[in-house]
Structure 1
Amino acid sequence: MGHNGSVSISESPSPIPSTASSSVSPDEQESAAMRNAPNPYARFDRREWDRLTDRTPLPLTQEDIDRIASLGDPIDMTEVETIYRPLSALLQLYIDGRRRTAAERHAFLGEPEGHSTPFVIGIAGSVAVGKSTVARLLQLLLSRWDSTPRVDLVTTDGFLYPNRILQERSLIARKGFPESYDRSALISFLASVKAGNPHAKAPVYSHVTYDIVPDTYIDVDRPDILIVEGLNVLQPPRSAPGSISVAVSDYFDFSIYVDADEKLIEQWYVDRFLKLRATAFSREDSYFKTYASLTDDEAVSTAHVVWNAINLPNLRENIRPTRERATLIFTKGPDHRVESLSIRKD
């Protein structure tokens, strides 16, 4: 789901292929070896998490929260106070720690301190799980801190290959899968940001025309924090045998995976599809305008087909396997409420 109620490519229906869905959840197939492996995460339920801090300022109003919530992803002040207040305090610890380390390194190496490079936060998770709301909420919340007033947000949709290239490579039905992204361009962008270069350029994607907007860019000019949100941002390095590559996540200082049960995410996807049918899909210039005339039953059926043919396989094959690469895992329950959080032990 994109900004202003528009549909995001990674969270929108693609042209429906005939691909069949996997029938058994990986949650049900998890091996005994994985279940018995040492757990590198410390887990907190929402009550335990809420008790971590009651002194951190929360400079947001309900109006702020209403303005940034994604379609079909309700969030209220209670959720913000319970989950995001402690998270903002934790992130400030990470940010302050990184700045101290940078200052000490400069002193040790005899380097001029110069401009601090941005602290980069990656946010991953399935289509329809609520990544966009988490990203926009953190952007607003962290920008209200005196120490981090400049917070930029970039989604990886802008680094999808243009439709022309996807069609040439027979990948148009694989939009949102790892191979549909210009990974080299994304890594070059992040390398420029982390090098402290001014005016790094991120391409812009239209969630209405379902394509890259020509000659249009987001200007990322050495912010205090950069948030990068997308399906595949925690993918491991991809390289040919014998070669060395880097991962997008190599440039992250902190990462979040937004998790939920498959059935919950599927229902959230269907619910949002129905809402988009009456909003973004109805626009004359919408790539999906033919969906606007579907009946309720047809829309529900279409949404389930798209989910099972495209989004569920991508979740199982590519997205969920990256979950344990995150610094922090949000686990959501019904109504998008975060039920538990697991943070990697350092």
Structure 2
Amino acid sequence: MTPDALADRIRALPGDRVLVALVGPPGAGKSTLSDALLAALGADAALVPMDGFHLDDRVLEARGLLPRKGAPETFDIGGLRRALQGIRAGEEVVVPVFDRAREIAIAGARVIPAAARVVLVEGNWLLLDRPGWRDLGPWDLTVRLDVPEAELRRRLEERWAGLGAEVARAKIEGNDLPNARTVRDEGRAADVVIAG
């Protein structure tokens, strides 16, 4: 399904506020799809990137979770749930945004206007079938990007190329690909699956 066709399907959803979950493993192209959908939907749409709800590195370090940053237990799921409740209620909601260059979430970095009819929520774990995660939503439409592991590996190698071969390999093998397998193996079914 092309982004334009998906945008048409989203436009046709009923309701004054529509929440769409865009899910996929690291490197699947969630941000690229989100950008294309935002362009197609125009001013009527807004984006909540789940990565903004990363716990800070200092918190992760204290919990022994820094090497697993990006895994389900490294997010502020309560903060995400509360933000989604406000969004579902039609409120203006201010959300954090993750700055990948600095590896830090920036509080109050994006406003989801009350006037936005469509709110795209993009992240790895939105359909994870685990306590807390399965309680997110309700979603009006769920979309999963399904990318073969070999292609994910290639994309992740490109993403982390600047870190040096050993550091990149440790990040990919120790975190990104295990997370990708969890998305694949423990995710609930999506309404739309897009092969990549």
Q: Same fold (TM over 0.5)?
A: yes
Give yes or no for the alignment of 1:212 onto 2:100. Answer: no
Match in the other structure for 1:307: 172
Output one character per residue of 1:259-301: Cα deviation in whole Å (capped at 9) or x when no partner. Answer: 1111111012112333xx2xxxxxxxxxxxxx3xx4xxxx3x5
Runs of 4+ in 1 over 6 A off after TM superposition: none
Match in the other structure for 2:10: 91
Match in the other structure for 2:64: 170
Contact 1:256 1:329 in 2 (8 A): yes
Match in the other structure for 1:112: none
Output one character per residue of 1:208-257: Cα deviation in whole Å (capped at 9) or x when no partner. Answer: 221223x5331112211111111111113516xxxxx8622x33211111
Q: Aligned equivalents of 1:322 and 1:90: distance in 2?
A: 26
Give yes or no for the alignment of 1:328 onto 2:192. Answer: yes
Contact 1:236 1:247 in 2 (8 A): no
Q: Aligned equivalents of 2:3 and 2:186: distance in 1?
A: 23
Taking structure 2 as the reference length, the TM-score comes to 0.90
Contact 1:257 1:323 in 2 (8 A): no
Contact 2:49 2:121 in 1 (8 A): yes
Report the structure number with the largest CA radius of gyration: 1
Greater relative contact order (Cα 8 A, min sep 6): structure 1 or 2? 2
1:121 is displaced (CA, Å) by 0.9
Match in the other structure for 1:125: 24
| Within-5 A mapping of 1:77-156 | 83-93=2-12, 95=13, 98-99=14-15, 116=16, 118-143=17-42, 149-156=43-50
Structure 2 alignment gaps of length 5 or more: none
- Percent identical pairs in the alignment equals 23
RMSD after superposition? 2.0
Q: Aligned equivalents of 2:195 and 2:134: distance in 1?
A: 28
Contact 2:160 2:168 in 1 (8 A): yes
Taking structure 1 as the reference length, the TM-score comes to 0.53
**Partner amino acid for 1:168?**
A
Larger strand proportion of the pair:
2
Q: Aligned equivalents of 2:94 and 2:141: distance in 1?
A: 22
1:324 is displaced (CA, Å) by 4.4
Aligned length: 195
